[in-house]
C-alpha cells in the first residue's frame, strides 16, 4: 500500500494512470498524450508497475501498458474506511470539529477585552456506579485523580491536590503519547480548595496558566454528591471569573474537555467497583 501511494503521488504518474484508465496504451502513445519524453515516461511506467498499479506486455516491437483495477480498489476501500472513521458520530474527529467551531466563536467574543467571559457557567451531571465515599476518593486522592483528570488524548503528568480548605492544587498534563516528555506541556493549572465536606461537597478555584505563567481565567468548580441507590448523583458547576482576552482558547475547550474528563471518571469508577 505504501509503495502504491508513493507511486500515485507523482503528478506525471497520476496523468498516466488516468490515460490508462481509458484503455491500454503503448509507451510512445502515452508519452505523446502526456506531453513528455518517452524515456521519462518509461521510467514512470516502470515505477507504477513495481507498485502494482499497472501491468505490461510486449507486443512485437511495442510494450503496451494496462491499468490493474485490483490494487486501486484495495486503496479505495482503505480510504473509504478512513473517511468513515473520521465522520463517525461521537468519534475523535467529531470532538475536534466541535472544538474548532467553539474556538472561532470564543475568539470573536474575546475581542471585547478583559472580563468578556465573567459569569459564564457550565453544568455537568453524571450518575456514577459507586457510593459517595468512593466517588470522593476519586475526586480528591492524587493517584485516583490522575486516572481521569485530563481531557481525551491527554494524560496527567504532574498533580498535587490537598483536599482541605486552603489546600494547594497543581495540575499539569501532556499528550498521551508524549511518554518521554519531548513535547511542550499541553496545559498547567494552579488553584486552591475552598470547601471540602467528604462525600458531600467539594469546591475549589482553579486557574489555567498562559504560556507566560499568568492566569488565563479563574474557575470556581463546585461538586455536589448525592446518594442515588447504590451509586452517586454527581453535579458539577464550572463558573468563570477574571477572564482575560487570551483565555478564549481555554474556554472553548471547557464543555468538551471537562465532559470527557468526567466520562473518564465514570469509567474509572466502573472499573474499580465490584
pLDDT band with cut points at 50, 70 and 90 for residue 3? confident
> What are phi and psi for residue 217, nearest 5 degrees?
-170, 175
The whole-number pLDDT of residue 271 equals 63
The whole-number pLDDT of residue 94 equals 63
The three three-digit cell numbers of residue 9, written as one number: 503521488
The whole-number pLDDT of residue 25 equals 92
Say if residues 192 and 168 touch (Cβ distance below 8 Å): yes
Report the length, in residues, of the chain.
274
The whole-number pLDDT of residue 59 equals 76
Kindly report the average pLDDT of the chain as a whole number: 91
What is the C-alpha separation between 18 and 24, in angstroms, rounded? Answer: 11
Say if residues 168 and 207 touch (Cβ distance below 8 Å): no
Closest CA relative to residue 140, chosen from 9, 265, 255, 41 = 265
The whole-number pLDDT of residue 165 equals 97
pLDDT band with cut points at 50, 70 and 90 for residue 152? confident
Each domain of the chain, given as residue ranges in start order, spans 2-81, 92-272
The whole-number pLDDT of residue 1 equals 81
Q: What integer is the mean pLDDT of 77-88?
A: 82
Q: What integer is the mean pLDDT of 116-123?
A: 96
The whole-number pLDDT of residue 273 equals 46
The whole-number pLDDT of residue 103 equals 84
The three three-digit cell numbers of residue 166, written as one number: 486552603
Say if residues 17 and 68 touch (Cβ distance below 8 Å): no
What is the C-alpha separation between 1 and 134, in angstroms, rounded? Answer: 50
- The overall longest dimension of the chain from CA atoms, in Å, is 91
Fold of 92-272: Alpha-D-Glucose-1,6-Bisphosphate; Chain A, domain 4 (3.30.530)
- The DSSP secondary structure of 63-101, one letter per residue, reads EEEEE-HHHHHHHHHHHHHHHHHHHSTTSHHHHHHHHHH
Quick one: 88 exposed, middle or buried, by C-beta within 10 A (0-12, 13-18, 19+)? exposed
Where is average pLDDT lowest: 33-47, 53-67, 79-93? 79-93
The whole-number pLDDT of residue 55 equals 95
The three three-digit cell numbers of residue 217, written as one number: 481565567
Fold of 2-81: Arc Repressor Mutant, subunit A (1.10.10)
> What is the reported pTM?
0.68
Q: What integer is the mean pLDDT of 194-200?
A: 97
Beta strands 54-59 and 121-128, pairing class: unpaired
Query: Which region, left, alpha or beta, applies to residue 115 given φ > 0 means left and ψ of -120 to 50 means alpha?
Result: left
Q: What integer is the mean pLDDT of 139-161?
A: 93
**How many percent of the chain have pLDDT more than 70?**
95
pLDDT at 162 over 80: yes
pLDDT at 274 over 50: no
The three three-digit cell numbers of residue 128, written as one number: 456514577
Amino acid at each position: 500500500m505504501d509503495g502504491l501511494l508513493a507511486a500515485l503521488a507523482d503528478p506525471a504518474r497520476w496523468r498516466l494512470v488516468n490515460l490508462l484508465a481509458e484503455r491500454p496504451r503503448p509507451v510512445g502513445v502515452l508519452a505523446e498524450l502526456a506531453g513528455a519524453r518517452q524515456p521519462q515516461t518509461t521510467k514512470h511506467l516502470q515505477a507504477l508497475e513495481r507498485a502494482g498499479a499497472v501491468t505490461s506486455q510486449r507486443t512485437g516491437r511495442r510494450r503496451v501498458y494496462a491499468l490493474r483495477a485490483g490494487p486501486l480498489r484495495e486503496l479505495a476501500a482503505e480510504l473509504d474506511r478512513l473517511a468513515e472513521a473520521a465522520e463517525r458520530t461521537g468519534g475523535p474527529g467529531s470532538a475536534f470539529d466541535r472544538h474548532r467551531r467553539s474556538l472561532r466563536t470564543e475568539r470573536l467574543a474575546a475581542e471585547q477585552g478583559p472580563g468578556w467571559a465573567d459569569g459564564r457557567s457550565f453544568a455537568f451531571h453524571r450518575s456514577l456506579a459507586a457510593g459517595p465515599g468512593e466517588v470522593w476518593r476519586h475526586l480528591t486522592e492524587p493517584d485516583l485523580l490522575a486516572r481521569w483528570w485530563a481531557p481525551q488524548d491527554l494524560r496527567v503528568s504532574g498533580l498535587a491536590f490537598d483536599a482541605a480548605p486552603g489546600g494547594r492544587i497543581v495540575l499539569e498534563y501532556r499528550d498521551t503519547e508524549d511518554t518521554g516528555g519531548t513535547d511542550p506541556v499541553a496545559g498547567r493549572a494552579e488553584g486552591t480548595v475552598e470547601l471540602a465536606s467528604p462525600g458531600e461537597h467539594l469546591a475549589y478555584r482553579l486557574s489555567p496558566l498562559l504560556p507566560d505563567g499568568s492566569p488565563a481565567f479563574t474557575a470556581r468548580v463546585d461538586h455536589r454528591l448525592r446518594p442515588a441507590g447504590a451509586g452517586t448523583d454527581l453535579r458539577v458547576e464550572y463558573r468563570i471569573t477574571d477572564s482575560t482576552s487570551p483565555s478564549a482558547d481555554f474556554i472553548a475547550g471547557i464543555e468538551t474537555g471537562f465532559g470527557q474528563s468526567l466520562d473518564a471518571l465514570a469509567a474509572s469508577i466502573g472499573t474499580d467497583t465490584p
